[in-house]
A and B are shown apart, each in its own frame.
Chain A
Amino acid sequence: MSEAFLSVEGVTKRFRSAGGEVIALEDVSIRVDHGECHAIIGESGSGKSTLGGLILGLFEPTSGSVRFKGEILGAPRRPLRLKRAIQLIQQNPLSALNPRRTVGQSIRLAFDVHAIGEKAQRGKRVAELLGEVGLPADYALRSPHGLSGGERQRVAIARALACEPELIVLDEPTSALDVLVQARVLQLLMRIRHQHRLTYAFITHDLAVVRGIADRVSVFEKGRLVESGLADAIFATPQSDYTRRLLAAVPVVSDEEARFRDRFRAAEVDAEEAED
């Protein structure tokens, strides 16, 4: 078997809290290949964000390991090279940008930290990145104050791109945005993935968001991996009840989607009747 791009091997993560221990993830193994968009799906409390935090190095696994191209990813003192390779797009665009730093300063940070490009060229590079995420170059001098949620999320994307990463963890990147803005930001994310040949770990509770874009899907429930496989297969023939329930709850906008969902709703009713 070839070396995986990103592999999570038997990872358990427990958090100590006031009321004892909370098991956030239990014996989870998944594999993310280079260039794919891997959706990590679950409700709140499913452990999906904990998995993101482990990949980003916000904390250490209690047991098991996370490997990136064969190298074990630890949390404290992660080398700059690995930090640069793995970036994050956060859920809340309102807090993602420092209100006391300009958009340009926020994006430029990565250049200064990782010594990317000539110093004199860094301003120009910021402008290019802004262009790439669909914002005018003069936004570099603006404070995040006057920016809309969608614009801020674009800046956050530019900041992640500034590191020239290989893997991006997207933690509910669109769930705080209006529906129309959501669609545009998703389009941008997909375009950028192809242009930069990025790998995405797309964390979301919203199956509708990833249905069209995920290559593979891993479904989590209460810290356990319920199901993992190709997106088409999972959306067509989900193996677990939990996945079926999630699919049945997807909000729909078109007849085609309604038919898709109703299949699972009908199945759910049958199952309940069978139980009675």
Chain B
Amino acid sequence: MTWFADSPGWRAFRRDTMAMTGLTLVALVVLAALFADWIAPYPSHAGPIGDFGAMGAPPGGRFLLGTDTIGRDLLTRLIYAYRLSLEMAIVVLAIATPIGVVVGLLAGYLGPAWSYGLMRLTDVFLSIPPLVLAMSITGFLEPSAIHGMIAITAMWWPWYARLTYNLTRAERQEGYVVAAEIVGASLPHILFREILPNCMPSILTKMTVDVGFVILIASSMSFLGLGAQAPTPDLGSMVADGAKYMPDAWWLTVFPAIAILIVVMGFNLLGDGLREAADVAR
């Protein structure tokens, strides 16, 4: 990631308080998810079984953020929910980004017939409200975390197709692309060696921001019961389950909501900071 190591960009990034806040939040979430088995106070509470002696305990004391209706530690479940959310975001982006990037490169570089066909296809996907598309896909398949990921992936790649398309349209005019064509370089070389590396800063920045948005959409879906199913801890379904006990057991809704806020905001601030740092470096 040379664009990141560029010292002017990195210096600008460190001076950017918002970006550093984002980085801190993201680091906390990622570390908690990675080391959940060691950090979580009651790792066994990630499953169906809780501490029946402490059902619905309020925050404080033995359970920092309280327990749910069957006595499972909320903090533990939030940490494992982060793990699931990040896994989903990574899988979704790892599949959606390459598809979108290849479609965008081809549409942006090849002739008008290709770009027309591919971009209209992209527009069709973009014109459907994301949540509606995801809901209709999980309507065909039974609701589960995997099917939720398939649904989100299907609606996510077009954004990368459009971003890469616009970047490629600008790149293909560059002298070095013309030079590679005239030297006789192959299509894969021109797309992946000449054009793509110059699009990567924008794509990586978008991916960073999108981790937050994928988590938000995944949470919205599981809030509606279309994502991960019990007993898997999931941010969206925790908010939904807790809502039934508002306002008495307020912590069951408020803390998962704050957890969503932290991770979405963290990736957003980090992504914006990276974008600005990349601009400075250029």
Q: Which residues of A contact B (CB under 8 A)?
A: 56-58, 80, 83-84, 86-88, 90, 92, 94-101, 106, 109-110, 113-114, 156, 159, 162-163
Q: Which residues of B contact A (CB under 8 A)?
A: 2, 174-176, 178-186, 189, 193-194, 197-198
CB neighbours (8 Å) of A162 from chain B are 183
CB neighbours (8 Å) of A106 from chain B are 176, 179
Bound together, the chains give a CA A109 to CA B176 distance in angstroms of 12
Q: Is the CB–CB distance between B175 and A92 below 8 Å?
A: yes
Additional A-B contacts beyond A96-B175, A113-B184 (16; CB < 8 A): A57-B182, A83-B184, A87-B183, A88-B179, A90-B178, A90-B179, A95-B176, A97-B176, A97-B179, A101-B176, A101-B197, A106-B176, A106-B179, A110-B184, A114-B184, A156-B179
Q: Is the CB–CB distance between A100 and B178 below 8 Å?
A: no
Query: Contact partner of A58 among B178, B184, B189, CB < 8 A?
Result: B178
Q: Is the CB–CB distance between A159 and B198 below 8 Å?
A: no
Bound together, the chains give a CA A88 to CA B198 distance in angstroms of 22
Q: Is the CB–CB distance between A95 and B184 below 8 Å?
A: no
A-B contact pairs, 18 of them (CB 8 A): A56-B182, A57-B182, A58-B181, A94-B175, A96-B175, A98-B174, A98-B194, A100-B2, A100-B198, A101-B176, A101-B193, A101-B194, A109-B183, A109-B185, A114-B184, A159-B179, A163-B183, A163-B184
Bound together, the chains give a CA A152 to CA B61 distance in angstroms of 68
Bound together, the chains give a CA A101 to CA B194 distance in angstroms of 8
On whether A88 and B182 interact (CB within 8 A), knowing A98-B194, A99-B198, the answer reads yes
On whether A95 and B174 interact (CB within 8 A), knowing A100-B198, A159-B179, the answer reads yes
CB neighbours (8 Å) of B2 from chain A are 100
CB neighbours (8 Å) of B198 from chain A are 98-100
CB neighbours (8 Å) of A95 from chain B are 174-176
Bound together, the chains give a CA A100 to CA B6 distance in angstroms of 13
